[in-house]
Chain A
């Protein structure tokens, strides 16, 4: 098991966002995390990457509890995130944004050339400021930057946010290629169909708790809708 989360509790000050979340992920598999706005999906990803310190429970990555680790330590262990809204560094060029992915000094499998092969349009824009690109191109930079950190586990938060359907399709197709290399993936999405289609299994989260889990094959739309919206 690459990632195992047990009884995870976390929040923002006095507001609790996660109430005993349990999750497990096999190496090389893809998990979709679905849920409505404010369900706790992004909070869960932020806990895994160390951006939020959990108030209880364990995050076992490679059998090591990383719940108290700093984000840069977690990055150095091979967990990368594509944040919601891309969050490119506005004062850096496309190439500099990509290079920043290598800050964690992990052994390099992903290189600039490999990222440009994966996202050919980026090569032509390498000297342009990241924020001057279109939304889809910025998302490519964000995914490329995460890959440049040579992750074993990639967390993608709302990849489709604000993008045209054709661009979303392209990005997901690219992710499919990447997962064939053995990369594990957690996808957070509000677009249920997109997320489940791209994953081996799914979890539905509501009000900070896992309310439904299943595999792509046994995904029941009625059950998911009930879990997603509650009563």
Chain B
């Protein structure tokens, strides 16, 4: 390998930190943290679903929106995270709330192992490759007795060891912690020099590489972070339902849903996935009684949004009122150190 000259910078980095977004997020987190004290179990379950989808959407947005890798196989990491939680909890008796993080780690390990093969693929081929990965795991689990084959697994026996009053609220607090962690992680990652490099990879890989960006390293780190977060979110999602089967867990509908919420909310922004998830749940809770019409309505909304609001709901609001709660660019300054 070549000799890389010693770094000797005459400058230090100073990053302006707009505080509106982080303060709003911190206040919302404090409010949400005490919500289980007065919220009903049904509402908590819904909140768990919302937060799990928010984490998944942020992770997909980091990968597709900021780095330019459109994955349609996020269900691979959702499933591995969820199965990781179920299998470790059932087999070892580990507290399922702690096992959420093991689910995330399992997904990250699969990400590490699959990255060398997936990174050989570009554009639509990468997207298809991720889908193939998900299908591969679905078939393996479908044919493995230990993972419950097609009948799936239930957490009913494990969950009985946890006091009734903490069953839903425990999941809720883990989900809340991970949601806040995800947003801060993505935000600070994108506001660093690493974040600039991430965006150059999306803009033009060849130019990025020729100015000294190690694009393979950037892709790898982003992919693993995305896999870990998606795995944790998958684990939360199925901890919430306490039942898992390979058909639903590894379904491509997960990726379709992620693409829907991120595009509707505003791809390539931190606020977008938030808005998109809230908008999706609003539609679901108000229209789901209409049966098949609900699915058609979702499709029509998606088409209308892409035609008339291509930058998503947040893009529209941000442009109209010139606000940016979590700015990820144009604020880097240098000062002599």
Chain A residues in the interface with B (C-beta under 8 A): 49-51, 64, 66, 69-78, 80-81, 83, 87-93, 95-96, 99-108, 111-112, 127, 145-146, 149
Contacts and interface: CB of A to CB of B under 8 A. Distances in A.
B9 interface: yes
Contacts of B9: 108
16 contacts: A71-B206, A72-B213, A76-B5, A76-B212, A77-B2, A91-B202, A92-B196, A92-B199, A92-B329, A93-B329, A93-B330, A95-B332, A96-B330, A103-B211, A107-B7, A108-B9
B213 to A, nearest CB: 5
Interface residues of B, number: 34
A195 B211 CA distance: 24
A51 B196 contact: no
B210 A81 contact: yes
Contacts of B199: 89, 91-92
A74 B206 CA distance: 13
B196 A99 contact: yes
B2 A69 contact: yes
Nearest to B212: A104
A69 B8 CA distance: 23
A70 B2 CA distance: 10
Nearest to B204: A87
Interface string B321-337: 00000000110101000
Contacts of B202: 91
Contact of B209 (A71, A89, A145, A146): A71
Contacts of B208: 89, 100
Contact of B210 (A64, A77, A83): A83
B172 to A, nearest CB: 36
A73 B1 contact: yes
A101 B211 CA distance: 5
B10 A111 contact: yes
A64 B334 contact: no
Contacts of A96: 196, 329-330, 332
B207 A72 contact: no
Contacts of A145: 211
Contacts of B212: 71-72, 75-76, 101-105, 149
A107 B6 contact: yes
A75 B211 CA distance: 6
Given A64-B2, A73-B1, A76-B4, A100 B210 contact: no
A108 B215 CA distance: 22
Nearest to B1: A73
B76 interface: no
B52 interface: no
A70 B207 CA distance: 13
